[in-house]
Amino acid sequence: MLLGVDGISDFDDLHSRKHNDEVQFYAFDMLVSDGDDIRKLPLTMRKTNLARLLARRVDGIFISDFERGEIRPELFRHACLMGLER
């Protein structure tokens, strides 16, 4: 993720590679563990595994926040209004 001056992720600047020293990596899911496909496990369990894996993480790697629940149309609409979805 690369944040623009407005604090919103700037996808175009990320791909320009002009700001590589400012990029932060946010992990949001874990699909494989020790070579095993764990996609069939519940997301909450995969998130726990990810948190354990990254407990001693390298600088610049973060775990994205997670809230249980459904993404409702209002949330998506607000994300679009904020310019988060283009």
pLDDT at 83: 75
In tens, the pLDDT along 20-56 reads 666 667 788 899 999 999 999 998 899 888 888 888 7
Q: What's the confidence (pLDDT) of residue 40?
A: 96
For residues 43 and 79, which has the higher predicted lDDT (pLDDT)? 43
E strand spans, the chain: 25-27, 32-33, 36-37, 61-63
Question: How does DSSP assign 1-25, residue by residue?
Answer: --B-TTSSB-HHHHHHTTTGGG--E
Name the pLDDT band for 67 (thresholds 50, 70, 90): low
Residue pointed to by tokens 């948190």: 51
The model scores a pTM over 0.75: no
Q: In the numeric block, which tokens belong to residue 60?
A: 């610049």
